[in-house]
C-alpha cells in the first residue's frame, strides 16, 4: 500500500472538504449543473481517498453503513419519489412542488427533486464503495492495512 505521509496529512483536510463539496453539488443541482450523480461521485471519491490512506477496514468503520444499505435506501428513495407522483395522478417521476410559509424561515418552495437527488447520490456512493470494497475482499493484501 502506498502510505505516504504527505497523502495521509492531505487526506485529513481533503476528505471533509470533498464531502462538503459533494453536499454543495447535490443542493446546487436543482437549477444549475450538478445534482445527486455528481455529488455522489465526489463523495465516493472522498471515501476512496480515505481507503487509500487508512485502509478498507478503517473506512468501513468510519462509514458505519454497508454499501448495500446505501444502495437499497437510495433506490427506495428515488423510486418512492416517482410513486409519490403517481399517487397525485401525475406521470411517474413528475416533480411535485409545495409552497410553505413558516414563521421563522419564511416562504419555502419545496419539491420532490431533492429526495430523488439524495436517492441518486446514495446509489452512486453505495455502488462505488461496493466496487472498491469488493476488490479488497477478492484480492486481499492489495490494500494493506
Query: Structurally, how many domains does the chain consist of?
Result: 1
pTM (2 d.p.): 0.85
Q: Does residue 145 lie within any of the structural domains?
A: no
Residue-range definition of the domain harbouring residue 66:
5-138
Q: Confidence band (pLDDT; 50, 70, 90) for 3?
A: low
Q: Does residue 38 lie within any of the structural domains?
A: yes
Q: Does residue 37 lie within any of the structural domains?
A: yes
- Over residues 41-57, the pLDDT tens digits come to 999 999 999 988 888 88
DSSP structure string for the chain: ----HHHHHHHHHHHHHHHHHHHHHHHHTTTSS--HHHHHHHHHHHHHHHHHHH-HHHHHHHH-S-HHHHHHHHHHHHHHHHHHHHHTTPPTT---EEEEEETTTEEEEEETHHHHHHHHHHHHHHHHHHHHHHHHHHSTTSS--
The pLDDT of residue 97 is: 87
Q: Does residue 109 lie within any of the structural domains?
A: yes
Amino acid at each position: 500500500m502506498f502510505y505516504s505521509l504527505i497523502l495521509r496529512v492531505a487526506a485529513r483536510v481533503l476528505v471533509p472538504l470533498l464531502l462538503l463539496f459533494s453536499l454543495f453539488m447535490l443542493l446546487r443541482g436543482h437549477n444549475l449543473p450538478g445534482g445527486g450523480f455528481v455529488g455522489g461521485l465526489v463523495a465516493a471519491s472522498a471515501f476512496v481517498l480515505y481507503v487509500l490512506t487508512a485502509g478498507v477496514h478503517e473506512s468501513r468503520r468510519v462509514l458505519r453503513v454497508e454499501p448495500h444499505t446505501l444502495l437499497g435506501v437510495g433506490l427506495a428513495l428515488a423510486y418512492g419519489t416517482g410513486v409519490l407522483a403517481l399517487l397525485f395522478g401525475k406521470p411517474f417521476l413528475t416533480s411535485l412542488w409545495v409552497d410553505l410559509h413558516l414563521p421563522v424561515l419564511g416562504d419555502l418552495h419545496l419539491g420532490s427533486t431533492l429526495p430523488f437527488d439524495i436517492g441518486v447520490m446514495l446509489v452512486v456512493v453505495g455502488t462505488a464503495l461496493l466496487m472498491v470494497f469488493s476488490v479488497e475482499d477478492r484480492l486481499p493484501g492489495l490494500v494493506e492495512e
